């Protein structure tokens, strides 16, 4: 049976696949909208639409069971304040960059920052919702709500689409079921992956079959590919859409578990370990590179521009992270400082031991 370390390896690899899909989607759709066309990445992302966000949330819930019973302060610090710190920091940075420096409308910066408190901002909505999902799950646990009831209610919200126009409400309805399922069914997911790792050939064949079935359900039944997205065919049917989110999430985990066995795939695990670095900071280099490439007019092909933009958007955050690690400057961008912890919790000022403080040179 795989060790805990192996399980962490495939979970990190799954996060790596997830962040690649996220950056791919935003790069392809942004370029597609600007150039009014579609490219090869549109088809890849279109195929992955039923599970692209569900698997990110399901994976995020896998280890929630290890901390859910902790006291409120300890839990909130790790699973709520942690995400809110990075959301607040990067929302301000992105608004200043995109609105202030990008348009010159500095008067709108303050209002957008205030609005971002109640309305998840841009691509950072995922980080915002992780904090919300973690809070709601802890409340359900504290109230001793059985898993079946919580899952039934969450599934109902997903099956009967909520379109209030309020992003917080709509995102909660669309994806909370996957986050909670990752928490509730984590032992089952780990058992399935462990069994599949012992049957590599059958697991690979199952993934191939799934890929064809997924393609048929997404692109069959009157689907339409647009520069900014896709109108799915059969896969858009309510109950089927929910099921494909779960099956696709499991497929991503299984794919990661098989890939991580290859000696040259360590980079994918590393990328997954640092996925939050990419998620927080990819949008700025993505937007800048897209604008620069399109302004030259030298490459009119949507596919080529999308791939270049995606590559820059993926690598730029890693270069920034490397520079921060080398210089020590800007660690607060990806590491929560002591003041951003709840007092008395690990990492807060009150828990830092004198021996851990480096002597002055």
> What are the CA-CA distances from residue 343 to residues 77, 285, 333, 338, 339 (Å)?
9, 35, 21, 9, 8
Rounded mean pLDDT of 23-29? Answer: 97
Residue 230 is inside which H or E element, if any?
strand 229-231
Q: How many CB atoms lie within 10 A of CB 325?
A: 11
> Could you read off the pLDDT of 218-249 as tens digits, one per residue?
999 999 999 999 999 999 999 999 999 999 99
Inter-residue contact 17 to 7 (CB < 8 Å):
no
Calpha distance 10→266 (Å, rounded):
10
Q: Mean pLDDT over all residues of the chain?
A: 92
Q: Please write down the HEC assignment for all residues of 110-133.
A: HHHHHHCCCCCCHHHHHHHHHHHH
Give the model's pLDDT for residue 269: 95
Q: Give the CA dihedral 209, 212, 214, 218, nearest 10 degrees.
A: -170
**Beta-ladder partners of 225:** 230
Q: Tell me how long the chain is.
A: 361
Per-residue pLDDT at 353 = 53
Residue 261 gets which letter from DSSP? T
The tens digit of pLDDT for each residue in 36-68 reads 999 999 999 999 999 999 999 999 999 999 999
Among 97-106, 193-202, 322-331, the range scoring the smallest mean pLDDT is 97-106
User: pLDDT tens across 200-213, in order?
Assistant: 999 999 999 999 99
pLDDT score at 84: 97
| pLDDT surpassing 80 at residue 183 | yes
Q: How far apart are CA 236 and CA 221, in angstroms?
A: 10
Confidence of residue 352 (pLDDT cuts 50, 70, 90): low
Residue 323 confidence (pLDDT)? 97
Q: Is the pLDDT of residue 356 over 70?
A: no
Per-residue pLDDT band for 6 (boundaries 50, 70, 90) equals very low
355 or 193, higher pLDDT: 193
Task: Determine the Cα–Cα distance for residues 150 and 152; give it in Å rounded to an integer.
Answer: 6
CA distance 356 to 186: 35
Does the pLDDT of residue 357 top 60, yes or no?
A: no
Q: What is the pLDDT of residue 107?
A: 80
Residues 268, 191, 273, CA angle at the centre, nearest 5°? 25
Ranges of H-type helices in the chain: 4-35, 40-48, 52-61, 72-76, 82-95, 102-103, 107-115, 125-142, 147-159, 167-184, 186-197, 200-219, 238-259, 266-273, 275-281, 283-296, 302-327
Inform me whether the pLDDT recorded for 139 exceeds 50. yes
Average pLDDT rounded to a whole number, residues 174-188: 97
Model confidence, pTM:
0.92
At residue 5 the predicted structure's pLDDT band, cuts being 50, 70 and 90, is very low
| Helical (H) or strand (E) element with 226 | strand 224-226
pLDDT digits (tens, 9 = 90+) for 312-322: 999 999 999 99
Q: How far apart are CA 44 and CA 285, in angstroms?
A: 22
Q: What percent of the chain has pLDDT over 70?
A: 95
């Amino acid at each position: 049976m795989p060790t805990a370390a192996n399980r962490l390896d495939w979970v990190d690899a799954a996060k790596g696949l997830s962040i690649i899909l996220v950056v791919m989607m935003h790069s392809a759709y942004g370029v597609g909208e600007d150039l009014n066309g579609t490219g090869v990445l549109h088809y890849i992302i279109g195929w992955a639409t039923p599970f692209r966000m569900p698997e990110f949330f399901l994976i995020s819930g896998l280890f929630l069971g290890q901390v859910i019973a902790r006291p409120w302060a300890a839990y909130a610090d790790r699973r709520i304040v942690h995400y809110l710190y990075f959301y607040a920091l990067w929302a301000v940075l992105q608004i200043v960059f995109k609105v202030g420096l990008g348009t010159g409308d500095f008067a709108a910066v303050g209002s957008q920052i205030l609005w971002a408190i109640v309305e998840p901002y841009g691509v950072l909505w995922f980080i915002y919702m992780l904090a919300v999902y973690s809070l709601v799950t802890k409340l359900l646990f504290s109230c001793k709500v059985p898993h079946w009831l919580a899952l039934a209610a969450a599934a109902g919200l997903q099956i009967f689409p909520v379109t209030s126009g309020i992003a917080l409400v709509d995102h909660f309805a669309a994806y909370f079921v996957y986050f909670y399922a990752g928490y509730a069914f984590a032992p089952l997911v780990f058992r399935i992956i462990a069994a599949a790792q012992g049957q590599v050939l059958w697991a690979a064949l199952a993934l191939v079959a799934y890929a064809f079935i997924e393609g048929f359900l997404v692109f069959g039944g009157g689907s339409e590919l647009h520069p900014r997205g896709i109108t799915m065919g059969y896969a858009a049917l309510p109950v089927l859409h929910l099921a494909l989110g779960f099956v696709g999430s499991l497929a991503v985990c299984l794919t990661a578990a098989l890939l991580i066995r290859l000696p040259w795939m360590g980079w994918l695990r590393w990328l997954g370990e640092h996925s939050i670095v990419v998620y927080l900071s990819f949008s700025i280099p993505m937007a800048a590179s897209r604008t620069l490439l399109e302004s030259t007019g030298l490459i009119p092909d949507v596919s080529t521009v999308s791939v270049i933009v995606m590559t820059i958007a993926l690598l730029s955050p890693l270069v920034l992270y490397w520079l921060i690690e080398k210089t020590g400057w800007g660690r607060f961008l990806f590491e929560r400082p002591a003041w951003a912890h709840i007092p008395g919790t690990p990492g807060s000022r009150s828990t830092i031991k004198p021996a851990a403080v480096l002597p002055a040179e």
